[in-house]
Structure 1
Amino acid sequence: MLRHKAYKFRIYPNREQEILIAKTMGCSRFVYNHFLSLWNEAYTKTGKGLTYHACSAMIPQMKKDEQTIWLQEVDSISLQSSVKNLSDAFSRFFKKQNKRPQFKSKKNPVQSYTTKNVNNSIRIVHHSIKLPKIGLVKFAKSQDPKGRVLNATIRKNASGKYFVSLLLEEDIQPLPKTNSAIGVDLGITDFAILSDGQKIDNHKFTSNMEKRLQREQRKLSRRGLQAKKNGINLLEAKNYQKQKRTVARLPGCPVARKSNESTERLSE
């Protein structure tokens, strides 16, 4: 049975590839915000938005314009994907499935772009992944994907690490049913107690990491306030950005990222 399956790997781009990835993320964000502005203008005047095909047809002309000729430097499919994401967001908005699309900010600690596999432009070669315009990038091959690659999303998180998420079409056979189940009871003395009597210890690791996270966040807040006092933008404050990456790298990444964003809002 053909099904879609996603894989996520950490990638290790070299310096030149990092620069090109940053350019692609910036161009994708620019295209998204540019057409969002046009879309909002059309929606205000007519009560209707634009279409994906109408916006996508404008991209070739933007590449020829002197003010936006730098769009030629990056993967063209990533720009089209950015417009497609905007179109899908507005479709869900008109169906009242989500809020109105918002402009993307370069201050967001997580940046990404998506590209599609066209003529085998995305493929795995031993311990490297070939990406459009980027070329072969080394990656941590923790799994062995088997199937046809549909698209890839390249992401840089708050800690400065790079990841790629691949969507593949694979022939997946369902596992046989065991007709068995087990209950899990979360507790304080024991982390979890299973219905078969097995107990999982409640280690102090989580508590210790919470204390360390709080300590590092206080340091982040102090550096943010000091930068503000000195009139330095947080994006240009090296000590602040270094501490921000330290907080993001702590175990329990979702908690760290959420707390990190709250700290940044307070310091600003």
Structure 2
Amino acid sequence: MKKSIRAYKTEIYPTESQKVKIHKTIGVCRFIYNFYISENEKSYKEEKGFISGYDFSKWINNNYVPNNPDMAWIKEMSSKAVKQSIMNCERAYKRFFKGESRYPRFKKKKKQNVKAYFPKNNKSDLTVERHRIKIPTLGWTRLKEKAFIPVGATVKSCTVSQKSNRYFISVLVEEQEHQKLEDFNEGIAIDLGLKEFAVMSNGERKKNINKTSKIKKLEKKLKREQRKLSRKFEALKIRKKKGGESATRNNIVKQTIVVQKLHMRLANIRTNYINHIVDDILKRKPSFVAVEDLNVRGMMKNRHLAKAVANQKFYEFRTKLTYKAIVSGIEVRIVDRWYPSSKTCSECGFIKKDLKLKDRTFICECGAKIDRDLNAAYNLAKTDKYKIAKLK
């Protein structure tokens, strides 16, 4: 039976000494990532061309650190973690050159997305037990979810990250491929939107969770806590003039963690909702799943809709749906974004070019009268203007 690589992510409880090592490693990785960007910008201005990750890593180890004694702290951290940070930045540049993403941006300390990479160096590294895992350079670390990572699994590598004063580990595990589904049912097409998260061709609807009272209360609370944080920064400016700032700085750190936890809670609720929708779709064993190739970046340019679009997490939904469906042997069809699914009559095929966004009911000359989103879902299920999604 074929083997595949699967990722598991869970929370860990590191000791105080382990936290110090994690913070130092993440700090070095962030510095190296930003330094690589600044050196490439400098090279571009001097018309010397792009510096590859291999050349930059070689220059750092053989020239920059030996000739700058005050930068010796870079060598104190794992060399493979530093090299992985450089490779991540180089990958971001290559995606930018291909037009797949924006220009790489500097990582900020408070708004970072930097992870500490720990490869497997020895046989005993990354050993998994029911309640703990052995991380290279860190040692045994407690897991929050017991037996979530398969005990005795072959772990290839791991990354450790920090978010709102909590620590997470993501491991790559080699395991047997899942048995693919059989006896498929009728295919399902999904029309994503803002009024409702999804309307499916089988008539089922998934509500927009961002309109629920729970999310609205949390967003209201987040707004209040952000306002408190802003006022503390203003108070710090006044304190600086009087020479007493330490107490205010400590309060800012505490309040920042409060704001980060609220952001994390909102993100977790939305992600959990997406996971439930994906699982519900795949439980029906459809022969195919059709989704529209939405221009999310273009939708985000509308300042009236940008926040609502971002909160829906369309990209995360499509990524998870694609991966889980393909692993289960279900075909995923990505319908062309220019296909007029909303303006086409699902009964006769007539295209109503003057259909406006406020028109929630599609009324055709043939006498068909149907909900706009349901009509779009029917068209997505029938169209032949699609591409078959594949795992990268």
Mapping 1:16-95, distance limit 5 Å: 16-46=17-47, 48-61=49-62, 62-64=64-66, 65-95=68-98
The alpha-carbon distance between structure 1 residues 26 and 238, as it changes in their structure 2 partners (threshold 3 A), is closer
Greater C-alpha radius of gyration: 2
Aligned to 2:335: none
Q: Which residue of 1 aligns with 2:9?
A: 8
Shift of 1:198: 9.6
TM-score by length of 2: 0.55
Show structure 2 runs of 5+ residues with no match. Answer: 238-244, 272-305, 311-392
Q: Is the 8 A contact 1:235 1:241 kept in 2?
A: no
- Match for 1:212 among 187, 209, 217? 217
Query: Runs of at least 4 residues of structure 1 off by over 6 A?
Result: 191-200
Cα root mean square deviation, aligned: 3.7
**Please, which moves more after superposition, 9-18 or 88-97?**
88-97
SS at match of 2:104: coil
Counterpart contact for 1:81–1:115, Cα < 8 Å: no
In 1, the alpha carbon distance for the partners of 2:25 and 2:32 equals 10
1:117-159 Cα offsets, whole Å, 9 max, x none, are: 23343332442222221111111232416653232121111x3
Q: Over residues 21-80 of structure 1, what are the superposed CA-to-partner deviations in whole Å (9 max), with x where a residue is unaligned?
A: 010000001111112211222233336311222112234345544211112332221101
For the residues of structure 2 that align with 1:228 and 1:163, how far apart are their CA atoms?
Answer: 29
Contact 2:222 2:263 in 1 (8 A): no
Picking from 140, 151, 158, the partner of 1:152 is: 158
Unaligned ranges ≥5, structure 1:
263-268
Q: Which has the higher contact order (CA 8 A, sep 6+)?
A: 1
State the alpha-carbon separation in 1 of the partners of residues 87 and 205 from structure 2.
Answer: 48
**Aligned residue identity for 2:175:** E
| Separation (CA, whole Å) in 2 of partners of 1:166 and 1:134 | 15
Q: CA deviation at 1:197?
A: 9.9
Matches within 5 A, 1:253-268: 253=268
Q: How does 1:90-239 map to 2 (within 5 A)?
A: 90-108=93-111, 110-120=113-123, 121-139=125-143, 140-141=145-146, 142-144=148-150, 147-157=153-163, 159-181=164-186, 207-231=212-236, 237-239=252-254
Q: Deviations along 1:210-247, whole A, 9 cap, x unmatched?
A: 23213312321321231132135997514522431441
Distance 2:107 2:203 in 1: 50
Tell me: CA distance 1:77–1:185, structure 2 relative to 1, closer, same or farther (3 Å).
closer
The CA deviation at 1:181 is 4.4
Pick closer, same or farther for the CA change 1:100–1:162 going to 2, 3 Å.
same
In structure 1, distance between residues paired with 2:221 and 2:210: 16
Distance 2:262 2:37 in 1: 33
Q: What is the SS of the residue equivalent to 2:51?
A: coil
Inter-CA distance 193–74: structure 2 relative to 1 (3 Å threshold): same
- The alignment partner of 1:174 has SS state of coil
- Aligned mates of 1:46, 1:193 — CA distance in 2: 52
Which residue number corresponds to residue 247 of structure 1? 262
> How many equivalent pairs are there?
255
CA contact (8 A) 1:209 1:251 kept: no
Identical aligned residues as a percent: 23
Separation in structure 2 between the aligned mates of residue 98 and residue 3 of structure 1, nearest angstrom: 28
Deviation, 1:253, is: 2.8
Give the whole-Å Cα distance in 2 for the aligned partners of 1:185 and 1:53: 44
> Cα 1:167–1:145, aligned 2, differ >3 Å: closer, same or farther?
farther
Q: SS in structure 2 opposite 1:46?
A: coil
Of the structure 1 ranges 17-26 and 128-137, higher mean CA displacement relative to structure 2 is found in 128-137
Q: Could you say which residue in structure 1 is the equivalent of 2:385?
A: none
Normalised by the length of structure 1, the TM-score is: 0.77
1:194: how far off? 9.2
